[in-house]
Structure 1
């Protein structure tokens, strides 16, 4: 499919500009038509699942099994996210606004590492996305066990916040099902011309699907934070500081453990990205201040998406220089 390949190459060449355009369009729609934009949240998960399916088409089962044997990488991801990361959150917590709902929302999202679109961003940045995919069960299990403990230490009531339901639901819908369908497609493509056509046709859709995820995720959330922007202004700086700190820490850990370049990139992105799409239902279920806590989580998503697009550009540019 040479025409499709040419289109995919052109989209990839301009992907950062296209992602920024999608984010900007989402922000504009959120402000201009908040009712219409707010209804987009129902399509975020289907778009994200489709994006992960296309990403997983490039990950063979054998590669995933091999990634599970990479103990240095898995150790680095766990170290960054569950030992160093919580220390960074604790150090930044005095800078959070005094409002209890904002503090709970911010701590909840910052303590939970991402397990879904980080796999996509890692692949776009040249990172070892198959290793991150292999690490997702460990990341999910560790955050369900450890985040309540960390929240209890920082707030005194963290054990009542974590409900395993949203985490398990996200793991099944965003990881297990897309991965299973991707592997079925790979098996089909190995035996059938129609299967190869479907597999080849899916590859050029990655950039448009990422644009759709960014547009719908940002557009659907902007109306929810617009009225609380004054309350949330103080937390934006904390989110930005967290991203910078975790980026530096991830680079230092990757260098200290002498990880290959693609593994190091994946470790950095894993440390920076948070599990906001999964944490949001937890914030909405809080007994007090749920709306403001959810807006705090949503604000982190907007800050992080802009950072992710920037980091993809930076890592790809650094790779070209090597």
Structure 2
């Protein structure tokens, strides 16, 4: 059953492409479908976030500190080095604030969900991946406003108002609290673990539903933003390459074993588009492209993970000596 879910996650990019295509077709051919999709988008997105947060060990933050070296390297990469790389990349983009803000939003926050699945598929260190995820989640929620203030002051000045931030915070905070409460309820009795296991299947179909609804509700924006893709796709590809090189440099500098190095590579290469999508969708008129940029990054990232699954195990080879080094 577990292998079946991982097989589904291997093919998720094609499921999302199909969802986008179906959404564009529905929005283009069915009058009134866009308004219905817009109403459904928020509750489906909330369910997606709940399913995602439920897989993150929110109540076990302390356990992440047991391996200070790996956690420290992961935090250095995710919250110092990669943000600096993103800042440099964004400076090369056109001056359109919606494009720049969309790229910053999606590339500044590390993934807390499917990077664990990809780590497992690539033979990485899954326990350490699980341990670092709640730290990643807490720090990104705290640091994202600071990053945006430093890197996109002109874009966000006068833009981030209570009307914009409140719905986005609500759509993230409610599933986060619900997931924490559910985790405590699940942990109280071993027999309830099946609840979390069943929800582990939900992110792929729920994200497919989200991209379908986004494409349906924003069909004109999506089609009108196709000329944006040649600008942002090379940035997303360059980010993946930079993540792999940064992981290689950090692993060598701190003498990480191959399995931990693989985990680091996937941790640096994957981003948390689920968390920032509500903020992008809450932006005022004229910034609709930001959400399209985030969806585009998700697809590029997933295609990139297919390459990572072949490349990263070769770059960080395991062997008798490497295994003994752990």
Is TM more than 0.5 here? yes
Pairing of 1:194-233 with structure 2 (within 5 A): 196=191, 198-200=192-194, 202-203=196-197, 206=200, 208-223=201-216, 224=218, 225-233=222-230
Taking a change above 3 Å as real, the CA distance of residues 199 and 104 of structure 1, as seen in their structure-2 partners, is closer
Is structure 2 residue 185 aligned with structure 1 residue 188?
no
Counterparts of 1:227 and 1:285 in 2: how far apart (Å)? 19
| Native 8 Å contact 1:108 1:151 kept in 2 | no
3-state SS of paired residue (1:68): helix
In structure 2, relative to structure 1, the CA distance for the partners of 1:160 and 1:273 (3 Å cut) is farther
Match of 2:24 in 1: 31
- Asked if the contact 2:168/2:279 (under 8 Å) is kept, the reply is no
**Distance (Å, rounded) in 1 between the aligned partners of 2:261 and 2:103:** 26
For the Cα contact (< 8 Å) 2:49–2:274, is it kept in 1?
no
Q: Could you give the per-residue CA deviations for residues 253-296 of structure 1, whole angstroms, max 9, x where no partner exists?
A: 13322334454344333322334333334444555721233333
CA contact (8 A) 1:105 1:294 kept: yes
Spell out the pairing of 1:1-322 with structure 2 (5 A cutoff): 7-12=1-6, 14-34=7-27, 35=33, 38-39=37-38, 41-42=41-42, 43-53=44-54, 55-56=55-56, 59=57, 64-110=61-107, 112-114=108-110, 116-118=112-114, 120-121=116-117, 124-125=120-121, 126=124, 127=126, 128-152=129-153, 156-158=154-156, 160=158, 165=166, 169=170, 172-189=173-190, 196=191, 198-200=192-194, 202-203=196-197, 206=200, 208-223=201-216, 224=218, 225-286=222-283, 289-308=286-305, 311=308
SS in 1 for 2:152: helix
- The one-character-per-residue Cα deviations of 1:25-52 (angstroms, maximum 9, x if unpaired) are 3133123223379456331330341244
Displacement after TM superposition at 1:159 (Å): 5.2
Mapped to 2, the partners of 1:284 and 1:246 lie a distance apart of: 27
Structure 2 unaligned segments of length 5 or more: list them.
28-32, 320-326
Q: SS of the counterpart of 1:97? A: coil
Query: For residues 60 and 87 of structure 1, do their structure 2 counterparts lie closer, same or farther at Cα, with a shift above 3 Å needed?
Result: closer
TM-superposed deviation, 1:82: 3.2
User: Which secondary structure does the structure 1 equivalent of 2:294 belong to?
Assistant: helix
Name the CA distance, whole Å, in 2 between partners of 1:313 and 1:205. Answer: 28
SS of residue matched to 1:33: helix
Compared CA separation, residues 296 and 314, structure 1 to 2 (3 A): same
Using a 3 Å threshold, how does the CA distance of structure 1 residues 82 and 158 change in structure 2: closer, same or farther? Answer: farther
User: Where does structure 1 lack aligned partners over 5 or more consecutive residues?
Assistant: 1-6, 190-195
The Cα of 1:229 is off from its aligned counterpart by 0.6
Number of aligned pairs?
Answer: 299
Residue 98 of structure 1, CA deviation: 4.0
The whole-number CA distance in structure 2 between the counterparts of 1:10 and 1:104 is 37
1:3 is matched with none
**In structure 2, do the counterparts of structure 1 residues 246 and 162 end up closer, same or farther at CA, with 3 Å as the change threshold?**
farther
Deviation at 1:180, TM superposition (A): 3.2
**CA distance in 2 between partners of 1:230 and 1:209 (Å):** 33
Q: 2-side partners of 1:60 and 1:284: how far apart?
A: 26
**Closer, same or farther: CA 314–247 of 1 in aligned 2, 3 Å:** same
Question: What is the TM-score normalised by the length of structure 1?
Answer: 0.74
Taking structure 2 as the reference length, the TM-score comes to 0.74
In structure 2, the CA distance between the partners of 1:143 and 1:267, relative to structure 1 (3 Å rule), is: farther
What is the distance in 2 between the residues matched to 1:78 and 1:282? 24
